[in-house]
Copies of this chain bind each other. A is one copy, B any other.
Amino acid sequence: SNQFYRDTWAEVNLDHVQENLKAIKELLPKDTAVMAVVKANAYGHGDIQVAKAALDAGATSLAVALLDEGIRLREHGIEAPILVLGSTRGSDAPVAAEYGISVTVHNESYIEEALKHLKESEQQLHIHIKIDTGMGRLGIRTKEEMKDIEYILQKQNKIQVEGVFTHFAKADEEDLEHSKNQLMKFLLILHSMNSLPPMIHTSNSAAAMRLPDAYFNMVRVGIAMYGLSPSPEIKNELPVNLKPALSLYTRVKQVKQIFAGDTVSYGGTYEAKAPEWIVTLPIGYADGWIRKLSGQNVLIKGKRTPIVGRICMDQCMVRVDEPIQEDTIVTLIGTDGQEAITADELAEKLETINYEITCQLSYRIPRVYKTGGKIVDIVNPLFRK
């Protein structure tokens, strides 16, 4: 269902998703494709809607973290190529093959296991071989490992190599030295291969905007598509004007006066020094509006207003200067008049990255999708069966 009965919601501007993606495409040579990274529910923005918008805007394939996420896209009618970037079980190879979902391979043993299970399978499994050139995460690290994989693959026809890739650890840092080293290691292993698969890719958003040497024939774009900078460090030198796609809103609930000595919320950590107006907002840490955001500002009628006391599971309280109409809109992420609160601001406050801010917005927050200023879709995940 697309109904929701609470006064907290995230608004996702699909035009911005598309504009960001097109702006990045502008930077790339014509033959470099864009894979839209929609893992983690499209970084909290909503996987199905973002995937469709991205494909419409020129992305030719999608990346997810889990086979489950890929299947979810297929079950919602998405037919574009999908790559699972994370690890999958060899025993699930037939499922991936059946859904036409490509998987990442990072060792020989996966292939052995997959081949066992693919015996009865009618569909070929498509794989991308992952090379770890300095991320210290999934991926093979040597030419020998690549040789072994090529050897075992050469004797069979159930698995087809569709791509080879790596991932940068520091493409979002001022200094691109480490990324260039990673690129070199990638090239060395690449050039040891007997034959190259059709898709070769290395770049995340940061590299797609900053390291043309790493384009090959595809880039994998996540954070920039959502209109956020890969890091604060490079924010001011990006070649595109990214437009944040997500805003977060709630509404003023009870407006009440409290008096000197009265406290607010659990533990009574906030105490009024004089008569004050306190407003309850229906959003809390179970929505991903985490407890550490206590003290953070929100925007009410274009003014910054502080959260007082501890953030509760489903609610938090702010102090306002004067009584205010119930149901007034409150902006938690987004723009109101001259003021804006960005995911970057929240990330800085929480000593984390903007990626985590949007990912953290929970299943309990309905997502409202807009195109051309109009609502085109609403998802309330609570009402999925």
B292→A4 contact, CB < 8 A: no
Provide 28 A-B residue pairs closer than 8 Å at the C-beta atoms, listed in order of the A residue: A4-B68, A5-B92, A7-B87, A39-B313, A39-B314, A40-B314, A66-B314, A66-B364, A68-B382, A69-B382, A71-B382, A71-B383, A86-B282, A107-B254, A135-B266, A136-B264, A137-B265, A137-B315, A138-B254, A169-B266, A170-B266, A170-B268, A285-B360, A288-B360, A291-B352, A384-B384, A384-B385, A385-B385
Kindly report which residue of chain B lies nearest to residue A76, judged by CB atoms: B385
A116 within 8 A of B: no
Docked complex Cα distance between A42 and B20 (Å): 38
Binding site for B on A (CB under 8 A): 4-7, 39-41, 43-44, 65-69, 71-72, 75, 85-89, 92, 95, 106-107, 109, 132, 134-139, 141, 169-170, 173, 178, 253-254, 256, 258, 262-268, 270, 278, 280, 282, 284-286, 288, 290-292, 309, 312-315, 317, 326, 351-353, 355-356, 359-360, 362-364, 380-385
Docked complex Cα distance between A359 and B178 (Å): 38
B169→A268 contact, CB < 8 A: yes
A5→B382 contact, CB < 8 A: no
The 10 closest A-B pairs by CB, nearest first: A384-B384, A136-B264, A40-B286, A65-B314, A5-B67, A363-B363, A286-B359, A87-B253, A68-B382, A6-B66
From residue A171, how far is it (CB to closest CB) to chain B in Å?
10
Given known A7-B89, A314-B65, A380-B68, contact A265–B135 (CB-CB < 8 A)? yes
Docked complex Cα distance between A107 and B327 (Å): 14
From residue A357, how far is it (CB to closest CB) to chain B in Å?
10
**Interface class of chain A by DSSP:** loop
Chain B residues with CB under 8 Å of A290's CB are 352, 356, 360
From residue A347, how far is it (CB to closest CB) to chain B in Å?
10
Chain B residues with CB under 8 Å of A256's CB are 132, 141
Given known A268-B170, A356-B291, contact A5–B107 (CB-CB < 8 A)? no
B87→A282 contact, CB < 8 A: yes
A136→B7 contact, CB < 8 A: no
From residue A85, how far is it (CB to closest CB) to chain B in Å?
8
Chain B residues with CB under 8 Å of A43's CB are 286, 313
Other A-B contacts than A6-B67, A65-B286, A68-B382, 15 sampled, CB-CB below 8 A, are A4-B68, A5-B95, A41-B363, A68-B380, A86-B282, A87-B253, A87-B254, A87-B282, A106-B254, A136-B317, A137-B315, A141-B256, A288-B360, A290-B356, A381-B384
Chain B residues with CB under 8 Å of A109's CB are 326
A5→B39 contact, CB < 8 A: no
Chain B residues with CB under 8 Å of A314's CB are 39-40, 65-66, 85-86
